[in-house]
Chains A and B, each alone.
Chain A
Amino acid sequence: MSQTDSLWRRLSGYNLFWPIIALLLIMLFNLFFMPNFFKIEIKDGHLFGSLIDILNRGAPLMLLAIGMTMVIATAGVDLSVGAVIAISGAMAAVLINPALGKELITSDKLIENVTFTPLWLVIVLGLLVSILCGLWNGLLVSRANIQPMVATLVLMVAGRGVAQLITNAQIITIYYSPYFFIGNGYILGLPFTFYIVAAVFLLAWAITRKTALGLFVESVGINSRSSFLSGINEKNVKLMAYTFCGLCAGIAGLIISSNVKSADANNAGLWSELDAILAVVIGGTLMTGGRFSLAGSVLGALIIQSVTTTIYSFGVPPEVVLVVKAAVVLAVVLLYSEQVKGALNNLFERKGVQP
């Protein structure tokens, strides 16, 4: 008995334990109630099915969660990622299909399968503008010493305005088919977005765990004053985190605009900052900063996306979707509460004591 006890202790002490449990519970639910959920078919050499769908649809959120993790680990928060998604999407769409041009562009020209800017430049400029957004947030937080929530609120509100200015307040439809590959393409049967997420995850992991940056980020997030006195340039660490978060949001923006083949300044990425924060919290990183887990945040994003996909494929009426989602999130977050954890531990221990 005591062996199972210690196993339980060891497992529940492992930092990815609870996110994994939460994901398994959702999958278990699907196993019982949705027989087709785990079915994966091969169509045209691509894999199809709910699981693949979760990976594909969840890609933007996973990217946001990775970036947000860095920011939250420095004891900050970035509310502007949704707006940055709109900005980078708008930027890409306008470069492909300029709505700002002085000359009159006739509608037959607009639906041509061509781009006005080379694809690589579209991507580079789209990401550059999102990096600038991140830098802006980072400068406000680290140099002007504005509280993160307030500082990023500026861009959260203003960013949609910027995106509207770029698109002339229109929804720009994209007709250039090579661009669609970003959000809809497949390589070796798996969606291209999966490779993007993997690459960004590896990049984030490498710069935090293979350089000293991870240590500095955690140190600044836990105690920024003693970090400063220990010689860490805490301002640049914060600047880096926000800039990286902006870049992640920019990539997500390109994926979303490519996926829906248009740039909608008002609705692209709307409220996604809240989902991203939630994903990070579910992943086990505290809002107070410090220790962070990139893998946990990606798991958190997968949990949120699984819930959404499950709800939709279960046929829940749209008017109750948000309520169901809230209930699931509440359950997951409750699993994290120290009180509930303590109660669970007690439960298991008492069982162990019984003869």
Chain B
Amino acid sequence: MPNSNSTLISMQGISKAFPGVQALAQVDFTLYSGEIHALMGENGTGKSTLIKVLTGVERPDAGVITLNGQKIQVKSPLHAQELGISPVYQEINLCPNLTVAENILLGREPRRFNSIDWRKLNQKARQILQRLDIEVEVTQSLGMYPVAIQQMVAIARALEISARVLILDEPTSSLSAHETTKLFQVMRKLKSEGMGIIFITHFINQVYEISDRTTVLRNGKLVGTFETAALPRLELISKMIGKEITAFEDMSRFKQQSDHQTEQAPLLEARKLGHSGVVSPFDLDLHAGEVVGFAGLLGSGRTETARLLFGADKPDHGSLSLAGKMVKKFSPCASILRGIALCPEDRKADGIVPDLTVRENIVLALQASRGWFQFLSQKKQYEIANHYIKLLNISTPSADQLVKNLSGGNQQKVILARWLATNPRVLILDEPTRGIDVGAKAEIQKLVLELAEEGRACVFISSELEEVLRISHRIVVMRDREKVAELSGSNMDEKTVMQAIAGS
């Protein structure tokens, strides 16, 4: 590692607030030349905001950035590139219908007599790619190559801007194992040339494979920067997940009956259910009256599993049966009629219909299951809506308020109401408490337990381990799109779950 100790970038006391959120609070971050620095944290912890500040997309409210010891103010992404800071984003920002060479040198084409010197352009592109040990025909259009190569081309483009700092945002999420190895070779080569690389990923294994140091963010705050090799996996996980100390009601009374429940025949039975490339085949039993928690990091396959159980995606492996009956038709509508409900993870994109009223949002799934012609009358709709507004304590001026005007927690309750209105036997909740305030969180947790007590089977998916531990009768642990453990009874403690998540 040449001059591994020289500080390339130093960010001190960076703060950034968006309306309603403190995205970054007094975060420090340093990057040495010749190091690969992993930036870790669950979603919404400020990773991307930090990168945006560094690349000039956002202006920090406070804080100082220095590059090679000189104070800089990054004015725009273009300015960042001029300074030698180049991001390569997860969604590749290239033009698939242009050639590889054009993509690398777009906007900086070598010119001759006022027109582009194509020979020189292609030659230059080849040189850059050689530096990365990649052999592709630069005159082919980029779209013909696999994603991995496109990723490399994106990196090549960043290098051409003579980057000193390379930022890789989730570069491996769409790559196969082999392609990832190739990418890592390139990263090591660049590192040995003295470049500083910021590496953002959700894959724990990759952090340990490639990175020298790791910075962990949580809730917009810096948890710390660590030598990766000296940081045990378990500790890394616990630093990422954190512990939220909040006063919750004692929920133990709900959890007593868990043991004898499992002796009954399961309500929902999955056998070798899976979808190749998405979730490895898994077995799962759900019993009436229990809450099964899904633990695992983001991207570990929890959401995909939920979608398979609900029938939003079709499995290509195994079988699913509900109350002894084999499920043949996989579609949301069929699932609702069967009595399965899914509160999706992404409330904004998959959950609410923002410009419809609270009432319409609540009756949506019930109406969908009744079809076009058995239309619920206005009166009936108001009845249902008002019932759930009261039951779930949704704070809205009226049932006619547009859902987009409610707070996150109340939106979540509206979606819960939508599913409760269909009277499901199996309720799958994917991150029902994300991004909502503590009070609403406790209410939703309590509600889930009450629903289980009524004899429904609940699946509770959450990134917050404490929450999963608190309300689940059993816990299924997912890692790298695979079910790796199922814990119940006395096995269910923080340490065991974390070990299962970390895979150590």
A residues whose Cβ falls under 8 Å from a Cβ of B: 210-213, 215-216, 218-219, 222-223, 225-233, 290-291
Contact = CB atoms under 8 A, between A and B. Distances in A.
Given A219-B364, A222-B353, A212 B373 contact: yes
B217 interface: no
Interface stretch (B155-163, B343-351, B493-501): B343-351
B321 to A, nearest CB: 20
B368 A230 contact: yes
Contacts of B356: 215, 218-219, 222, 290
A230 B332 contact: yes
Contacts of B369: 231
A233 B333 contact: yes
A229 B350 contact: yes
B332 A229 contact: yes
Interface string B320-358: 000000000001110110000010100001111111100
Interface of B: 310, 312, 331-333, 335-336, 342, 344, 349-356, 360, 363-365, 367-376, 418
Given A211-B372, A219-B356, A290-B355, A230 B364 contact: yes
Contacts of B351: 226, 229
B372 A212 contact: yes
A226 B360 contact: no
Contacts of B365: 230-231
A291 B404 CA distance: 14
B478 to A, nearest CB: 21
A29 to B, nearest CB: 35
Cβ-closest 5 pairs across A and B: A231-B368, A231-B333, A230-B365, A231-B336, A232-B368
A93 to B, nearest CB: 36
23 contacts: A210-B375, A211-B373, A213-B372, A215-B356, A216-B372, A218-B356, A219-B353, A219-B356, A222-B353, A223-B352, A223-B353, A225-B350, A226-B344, A228-B332, A229-B342, A231-B331, A231-B333, A231-B336, A231-B365, A231-B368, A231-B369, A232-B368, A233-B333
B367 A215 contact: yes
A212 B365 CA distance: 11
A71 B456 CA distance: 40
A242 to B, nearest CB: 16
A229 B351 CA distance: 8
Contact of A230 (B370, B375, B418): B418
A211 B360 CA distance: 14
A226 B351 CA distance: 5
Given A212-B374, A215-B356, A215-B363, 8 more contacts: A211-B372, A212-B376, A216-B368, A216-B372, A219-B353, A219-B364, A229-B332, A233-B368
Contacts of A233: 333, 368
Given A231-B335, A231-B365, A212 B350 contact: no
Contacts of B349: 223, 225-226
Contacts of A210: 375
B313 to A, nearest CB: 11
Contacts of B363: 215
Contacts of B354: 222-223
A225 B350 CA distance: 5
A182 to B, nearest CB: 30
Contacts of B368: 212, 216, 227, 230-233
Contacts of A228: 312, 332
A215 B355 contact: no
B322 to A, nearest CB: 16
Contacts of A291: 355
Contact of B364 (A211, A213, A215, A290): A215
A257 B65 CA distance: 72
B401 to A, nearest CB: 15
A226 B347 CA distance: 9
The winner among A219, A231, A290 for most chain B CB atoms within 10 A is: A231
A215 to B, nearest CB: 6
Contact of B353 (A211, A213, A227, A231): A227
Nearest to B335: A231
A74 to B, nearest CB: 13
A290 B354 CA distance: 10
Nearest to A232: B368
A241 B2 CA distance: 65
A238 to B, nearest CB: 14
B251 to A, nearest CB: 29
Nearest to A236: B372
Nearest to A291: B355
A223 B360 CA distance: 13
A189 to B, nearest CB: 37
Contacts of A230: 332, 364-365, 368, 418
A231 B334 CA distance: 8
Contact of A226 (B310, B350, B370): B350
A210 B377 CA distance: 9
Given A229-B342, A230-B365, A212 B332 contact: no
A226 B352 contact: yes
A210 B365 CA distance: 18
A225 B347 CA distance: 11
Nearest to B307: A229
A229 B365 CA distance: 8
Nearest to B337: A231
Nearest to A214: B375
Contacts of A216: 367-368, 372
Contacts of A211: 372-373, 375
A229 B361 CA distance: 12
Interface centre among A219, A222, A230 (most CB of B within 10 A): A230
B412 to A, nearest CB: 13
A346 B363 CA distance: 38
B348 to A, nearest CB: 9
A353 to B, nearest CB: 26
B12 to A, nearest CB: 41
A227 B312 CA distance: 12
B312 A229 contact: yes
A225 B349 CA distance: 7
Contacts of B312: 228-229
Contacts of B310: 229
B430 to A, nearest CB: 11
A319 to B, nearest CB: 42
B347 to A, nearest CB: 9
B121 to A, nearest CB: 33
Given A222-B354, A225-B350, A212 B333 contact: no
Contacts of B342: 229
A290 B361 CA distance: 13
B367 A212 contact: yes
A210 B349 CA distance: 28
A232 B350 contact: no
Contacts of A218: 353, 355-356, 360
